[in-house]
């Protein structure tokens, strides 16, 4: 154990663990933010800080962690390592030598950037699958992010929850002729499988060692093309989904986002427990036949392997055209009532207040803002507007509510891009006692959207925030592949993500003011 501990510390000292350290920082941030959104966890953290007499508040944890540089962590690791060696007494000669090695160690020259050391390649296979192969130097595992690009209106002709239950059945519940679920078989083959839900489709994350990646790809292909759905599997998937609702409802913003999207004439994003129980097995089979098609698959594979090798693997397992017709590259037209195809005003927005469930200890208020995203530059502008309105202490949400009135537990936003349009969703979490003032809060939120969003240095702060997050995610193989998959599936193209710092420089005051004029001139949807 001591040897493994010393080897891990030595990796940090040798600057070989920077991607791992960045990932650890982000996991800590996410875990803390989730805790702070829960009023009970938030109170527990304040009590914990007070009991220990800590000089800072829990609200400052994220900013202090973000300000902690990797170099500081490496210096602390070296101090720990040297202190540990001083405590050793057997053998004394080796201890001294090791300390001398640490003192005289000269780290290798720092690379100019990780982005410059990696390579990327995109290809559309004969089956219609879009593949992006990415070499990530230093990665010990191969990561595959697969997005089923169904779009935000996939459930327009289906009951809410059909998409989620289909994915749960397909990847975690459904059994094939070997009587083992896909996730279990992949784990037995040296990999792992995870699911996540994006507004434009389900995202599958498969992880494997380089020596076992072919086994995982083979099983993933089999699971996608040979699924058999049964009533028992639907029951198990429904139970898993309902358990997650009982655990999470009231402490996250997805029900509010769902209501905002429906007010903007889109399909459901988040199904309630009652809606999930109305999904039939026939709905699952129909959803699977319509949407689980190869031309809707976007796959991003990354690892410390040549992109040629990664592309060849994807071609071998997903590029064969001799598949059943429903998996061919034949494009299926969108339904004629698809909201994304209808003519839209330049900018459209709505506001909403929601407690879900009705007896939840929290109240969420938020906005939905729709704008055109027809080019990489407009994609970058959407991210900047997101930062201006709902990210960081300089954002409009923070200044209008927390700073000016001292209210709000948590705030944030999410951007959805699909087929030439973008929707920006923002939320503010409050205590349930504020429900009596929801009309006042909504009016204040609507006024915030109509106010001039550019304070002095606000645009430069927002651009720096977006670029800083992008550079951080470049060091995390999971976040980088996730972002590439989403932006490629959205229709903007992966190059918008790869060249984001250059695109941000083109986002000027004129573009932001043009979007703001659209908000001022637009008539908001009446809240439900």
Q: What is the CATH number of the domain that holds 466?
A: 3.30.830.10
* Residue 83 and residue 128 in one domain: no
pLDDT band at 97 (very low <50, low <70, confident <90, very high): very low
List alpha helices for 400-437, DSSP H.
404-405
* Residue 35 and residue 178 in one domain: no
Q: Single out the residue of 155, 146, 128 nearest to residue 290, CA to CA.
A: 155
The DSSP result for 145-181, as a single string, is: EEEE---TTTTTTS-TTHHHHHHHIIIII-B-TTSSB
The verdict on residue 337 lying in a domain is no
**Residue 91: cis peptide before it, omega within 30 degrees of 0:** yes
What angle in degrees, to the nearest 10, is found between the helix axes of 18-37 and 477-489? 70
Out of 328-337, 435-444, 456-465, least confident range: 328-337
Helix (H, G, I), strand (E, B) or coil at 131: strand
Question: Above 70 in pLDDT, residue 134?
Answer: yes
Helix (H, G, I), strand (E, B) or coil at 520: helix
The pLDDT value recorded for residue 526 is 54
The pLDDT value recorded for residue 99 is 39
- Structure letter (DSSP) for residue 402: I
* Residue 193 and residue 320 in one domain: yes
Q: Single out the residue of 291, 256, 203 nearest to residue 365, CA to CA.
A: 256
The verdict on residue 334 lying in a domain is no
* Residue 136 and residue 67 in one domain: no
Domain boundary among 109, 138, 157: 109
**How much is the average pLDDT of 196-204?**
89
* Residue 428 and residue 290 in one domain: no
Question: Above 50 in pLDDT, residue 341?
Answer: no
* Residue 104 and residue 201 in one domain: no
**How much is the average pLDDT of 28-50?**
79
Category of 419 on φ-ψ map: left (φ > 0), alpha (ψ -120 to 50) or beta: left
* Residue 165 and residue 298 in one domain: yes
The pLDDT value recorded for residue 286 is 94
The pLDDT value recorded for residue 93 is 38
**Sign of torsion, CA 364 369 375 377?**
negative
Question: Above 70 in pLDDT, residue 315?
Answer: yes
In angstroms, the CA 131 to CA 134 distance is 10
The pLDDT value recorded for residue 311 is 93
The pLDDT value recorded for residue 525 is 60
pLDDT tens track for 471-518: 999 989 999 999 999 999 999 999 999 999 999 999 888 888 777 777
* Residue 96 and residue 126 in one domain: no
Q: State the residue range of the domain holding 245.
A: 116-327
The verdict on residue 335 lying in a domain is no
What angle in degrees, to the nearest 10, is found between the helix axes of 307-318 and 213-225? 30
* Residue 176 and residue 321 in one domain: yes
Q: What percentage of the chain reaches a pLDDT higher than 90?
A: 32
Number of domains in the chain: 3
* Residue 363 and residue 381 in one domain: yes
Q: What is the dihedral of CA 481, 340, 371, 162, to 10 degrees?
A: -50
**How much is the average pLDDT of 392-403?**
88
The verdict on residue 526 lying in a domain is no
- Residue 413 Cα distances to 177, 185, 269, 369, 371, angstroms: 43, 37, 15, 11, 15
Question: Above 60 in pLDDT, residue 329?
Answer: no
pLDDT band at 366 (very low <50, low <70, confident <90, very high): very high
Q: Is pLDDT larger for residue 300 or for residue 152?
A: 300
**Residue 357: cis peptide before it, omega within 30 degrees of 0:** yes
Domain boundary among 327, 353, 369: 327
Out of 31-35, 51-55, 126-130, 376-380, least confident range: 51-55
* Residue 314 and residue 418 in one domain: no
The pLDDT mean for the chain works out to 80
Q: Single out the residue of 168, 214, 170 nearest to residue 189, CA to CA.
A: 214
Query: In degrees rounded to 5, what are phi and psi of residue 279?
Result: -75, 130
The verdict on residue 528 lying in a domain is no
Domain boundary among 109, 137, 161: 109
The pLDDT value recorded for residue 523 is 63
The pLDDT value recorded for residue 220 is 87
């Amino acid at each position: 154990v001591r040897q493994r501990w010393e080897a891990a510390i030595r990796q940090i000292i040798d600057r070989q663990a920077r991607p791992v350290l960045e990932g650890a920082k982000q996991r800590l941030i996410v875990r803390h933010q989730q805790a702070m959104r829960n009023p009970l966890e938030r109170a527990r953290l304040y009590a914990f800080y007070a009991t220990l007499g800590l000089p800072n508040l829990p609200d400052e944890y994220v900013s202090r962690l973000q300000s902690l540089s990797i170099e500081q962590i490496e210096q602390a690791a070296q101090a720990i390592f040297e202190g540990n060696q001083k405590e050793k007494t057997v053998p004394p000669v080796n201890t001294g030598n090791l300390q001398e090695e640490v003192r005289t160690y000269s780290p290798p020259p720092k690379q100019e950037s990780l982005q410059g050391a990696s390579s990327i390649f995109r290809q559309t296979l004969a089956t219609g699958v879009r593949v992006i192969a990415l070499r990530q130097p230093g990665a010990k595992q191969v990561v595959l992010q697969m997005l089923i690009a169904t779009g935000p209106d996939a459930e327009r002709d289906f009951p809410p929850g059909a998409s989620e239950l289909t994915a749960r059945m397909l990847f975690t519940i459904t059994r094939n002729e070997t009587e083992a679920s896909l996730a279990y078989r992949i784990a037995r083959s040296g990999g792992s499988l995870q699911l996540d839900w994006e507004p434009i489709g389900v995202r599958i994350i498969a992880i494997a060692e380089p020596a076992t990646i072919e086994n995982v790809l083979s099983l993933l292909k089999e699971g996608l093309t040979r699924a058999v759905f049964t009533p028992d599997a639907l029951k198990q998937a429904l139970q898993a989904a309902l358990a997650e609702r009982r655990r999470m409802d009231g402490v996250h913003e997805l029900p509010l986002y769902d209501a905002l999207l429906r007010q903007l004439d889109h399909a459901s994003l988040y199904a309630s427990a009652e809606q999930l129980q109305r999904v039939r097995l026939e709905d699952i089979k129909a959803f699977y036949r319509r949407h689980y098609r190869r031309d809707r698959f976007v796959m991003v594979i990354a690892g410390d392997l040549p992109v040629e090798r990664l592309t060849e693997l994807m071609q071998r397992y997903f590029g064969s055209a001799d598949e059943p017709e429903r998996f061919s590259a034949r494009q299926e037209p969108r339904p004629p009532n698809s909201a994304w195809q209808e003519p839209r005003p330049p900018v459209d927005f709505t506001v909403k207040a929601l407690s879900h469930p009705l007896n939840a200890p929290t109240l969420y208020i938020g906005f939905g803002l729709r704008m055109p995203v027809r080019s990489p530059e407009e994609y970058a502008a959407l991210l900047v507007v997101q930062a201006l309105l709902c990210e960081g202490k300089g954002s409009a949400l923070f200044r209008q509510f927390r700073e000016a009135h001292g209210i709000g537990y948590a705030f944030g936003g999410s951007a959805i891009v699909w087929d030439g349009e973008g929707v920006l969703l923002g939320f503010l979490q409050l205590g349930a006692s504020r429900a009596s003032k929801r009309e006042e809060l909504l009016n204040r939120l609507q006024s915030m959207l109509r106010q001039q969003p550019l304070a002095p240095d606000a645009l430069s702060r927002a651009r720096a925030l977006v670029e800083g997050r992008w550079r951080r995610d470049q060091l995390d193989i999971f976040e980088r592949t996730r972002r590439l998959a989403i932006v490629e599936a959205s229709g903007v193209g992966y190059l918008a993500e790869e060249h984001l710092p250059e695109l941000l420089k083109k986002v000027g005051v004129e573009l932001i003011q043009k979007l703001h004029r659209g908000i001022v001139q637009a008539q908001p949807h009446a809240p439900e």
